[in-house]
Chains A and B, each alone.
Chain A
Amino acid sequence: MKRRAILLVIGVFGLLLTLPLWASPYTVSLATLFLFFAYAGQAWNIMMGFAGLLSLGHALYLGVGAYTVAALYDHFSIGPWLGLWVALALCGLLAAAMAALAFRYRVAGVYFALLTIACAEFARIGFDHFTWVGGSGGLFLKVVEPGRMDLLNLRGPPAMFYYLILLLAGAALLLSALLLRSRAGYYWQAIRESEEAAAALGVNSFRWKMLAVMISGAMTALAGMFSAFYYSNLFPEQLFHISRSIEIILGPIIGGVGTLFGPIIGAALLTALGDGATEFVAAVGWDVPGVKQLVYGIVLFAIVAFLPEGIWPALARKLKLFQ
């Protein structure tokens, strides 16, 4: 990476670090949303972008992660900083179990993607009937004294959540960068390009693919934890729904699958686009439900059709960040 690129990253990071000091609460909430999708998109990108395993069911880990930490907190008063380890382990294991079955029985390509959807949908309906965590009626976390900050129990003002998700997104970027340059990263890319060739060179593709799926699943669990405590309410229909899985993957796809910065750029663009669309239709007085999604759909369509590599590779070439 050239100096120019490093300077750009530091500049953007500094801007984000001071954001709650000078921006309006609304902007902070938008930025929180953007960072949330940047984080979840990076988690997904490790599976699809690095190892070439398409998951369309990441809502599974989002939901299980959210429900694990929230239920431990709600039922046993176990704080989120302890609960998150349970969620990490649980989602890692869940991902491992699904992936082990899939890889052992050679479920690949479209079939693998469909398997991930089926597992997420299965969990959605299961949680709808799981009365211990509220079933379809939802699970609600206690809200204590708005404004008071309780970092131990993750109860506090929006700025606290903003910094939390900023930390997560930054850590995810660092982890992705390290992984990509590690032995695992090179093996993943070899497997992504041609699994047979990698296997012929002695790469144990089963083991490395498992690693990618587990890291990705466990990381997404933290996104679930964040979302549970940020919104303080959990519904299976929202957390496990297939549209969550799709929202998670939109950012990386628009930004550039398999790139480090793609998921972040994509998430930023989508958040801006969503907000811009909302404001635009409100300004024109054409405030019908569905307009925002329509704009989303059309942009996704255009990007997949005309910029199949995503925006980041094209942008990086234009800005000469890597030459």
Chain B
Amino acid sequence: MPFDFSTLLNVLISGLMTGLVYGLMALGLSVIFGVARVVNFAHGEMMALAMYAAALLFSRFRVNPLLAVVPLGAAFFCFGYGLQRLVLRPFVIRPQHSQFLLLLALAVVITSTLLMVFGPDARAVNLDGLLEPVVIGELLLDQAKLYAAVVACAVAAALFAFFRLTYTGTAIRACADNWLGAQIVGLDVDRLYAIAFGIGASCVGVAGCMMILLVDVTPGSGPAYTLLAFVIVIVGGLGSMSGALVGGVLIGISEAFGGLFIAPSAKSMISFALMIIVLIFRPRGLIAEKS
């Protein structure tokens, strides 16, 4: 093996940091499914939208994507809230396939709108200040990845705190556990669903700002992110918040090593194989949701 220990360690840490951003994106999907029971087939397209928005804010107004997290997180919260309130609400009681077909339609609309507005070329954000790596012993940490991972962790921690400590968070978890029971005790289920969808969307908004620092985006990026998010939540456990983060890290690391050992273009094959195996043998995910 031509790979020495420090190379492997660097690849591992790099995969871990990317994985945390993946995890944040998947966390959004997991919250949306876990609470509102909506399978968001437009998740990756929303991610691409967020990446474009961050790229646009940077190229027009020189807003650092690390700061764009705040306005975009808020904007995506409103988007998700409105979507659930105005469009998806009647679909809660419809058959599941009709729900995700609606979201598929939304995905097509987002992708084609991005294509029309921005054209087919890739967009990227390159911050000059972030090119220098952080050196810790033998470790070379990519600055952009490091900041992205830190922000992802911070947002995830804030969400965990929100769901554990606040009244609204507890109420949302109650809705997720028992929709009928939550209605009986007088919770405004529609509003809580919309908030959950908003939170899920705002995770995507933040993750998109981070992701644009790491890779470039094209209008066609959406489906790949949708699939990636599904792979992660399936591996981690659909509906489980910690599962999404663990799954994200796992997939990030497996992609990094896949790129190293096989070929960068084949790296997601490992993820899909992992997803198929988990689906068959542990359909509730590695970290199972309490039933």
Contact = CB atoms under 8 A, between A and B. Distances in A.
Contact of B272 (A109, A118, A292, A297): A118
Nearest to B276: A118
B112 A118 contact: no
Given A128-B265, A300-B108, A290 B272 contact: no
Contact of A101 (B97, B98, B280): B280
A111 to B, nearest CB: 6
A293 B108 contact: yes
A308 B107 CA distance: 18
Nearest to B109: A297
A291 B108 CA distance: 11
A142 B134 CA distance: 55
A119 B276 contact: yes
Interface string A92-110: 0000000001100111011
Contacts of A291: 112, 116
B113 A122 contact: no
6 contacts: A102-B279, A110-B39, A125-B266, A289-B116, A300-B104, A301-B106
Contact of A118 (B109, B111, B115, B279): B279
A297 B96 contact: no
A232 interface: no
Interface residues of B: mostly helix, strand, loop or mixed?
helix
Interface of A: 48, 54, 101-102, 105-107, 109-111, 113-115, 117-119, 121-122, 125-126, 128-129, 136, 242-243, 246, 253, 288-294, 296-298, 300-301, 304-305, 308
Given A129-B263, A300-B104, 18 more contacts: A107-B283, A110-B96, A113-B100, A115-B279, A119-B276, A122-B276, A125-B265, A125-B266, A246-B104, A289-B116, A289-B120, A290-B114, A292-B112, A294-B108, A297-B111, A301-B105, A304-B101, A305-B102
Contact of A242 (B94, B115, B223): B223
Contacts of A298: 105, 109
A125 B279 contact: no
B283 to A, nearest CB: 5
Nearest to B107: A297
B234 interface: yes
Contacts of A136: 265
Nearest to B279: A115
A126 B263 CA distance: 12
A255 to B, nearest CB: 13
A271 to B, nearest CB: 17
Given A105-B283, A294-B116, A304 B105 contact: yes
Contacts of A106: 283
Most B CB contacts (10 A, CB to CB) among A117, A128, A298 go to: A117
A98 to B, nearest CB: 9
B96 A109 contact: yes
B18 interface: no
Contacts of B251: none
Interface of B: 39, 87, 94, 96-98, 100-102, 104-109, 111-116, 119-120, 219, 223, 227, 230-231, 234, 238, 263, 265-266, 268-269, 272-273, 275-276, 279-281, 283
B280 to A, nearest CB: 5
Contact of A54 (B97, B115, B272): B97
A305 B87 CA distance: 9
Contacts of B96: 109-110
Contacts of B101: 253, 300, 304
A23 B180 CA distance: 59
A296 B116 CA distance: 14
Q: Which 4 A/B pairs are nearest by Cβ-Cβ distance?
A: A290-B115, A297-B108, A293-B112, A301-B105
A298 B275 CA distance: 31
A285 B141 CA distance: 50
A114 B108 contact: no
Nearest to A302: B105
Nearest to B110: A297
B106 A114 contact: no
Nearest to A128: B265
Contact of B268 (A101, A109, A125): A125
A242 B101 CA distance: 14
A126 B269 CA distance: 7
B53 to A, nearest CB: 17
Contacts of A290: 111-116, 219
A304 B266 CA distance: 35
A308 to B, nearest CB: 5
B269 A125 contact: yes
A118 B231 contact: yes
A48 B223 CA distance: 22
Most A CB contacts (10 A, CB to CB) among B119, B234, B266, B279 go to: B279
Contact of B109 (A54, A301, A304): A301
B86 to A, nearest CB: 11
B120 A129 contact: no
A121 B276 CA distance: 11
A117 B112 contact: no
Contact of B98 (A125, A242, A246, A304): A304
Contacts of A48: 97
A273 to B, nearest CB: 13
B239 to A, nearest CB: 11
Contacts of A101: 280
Given A119-B276, A301-B106, A114 B230 contact: yes
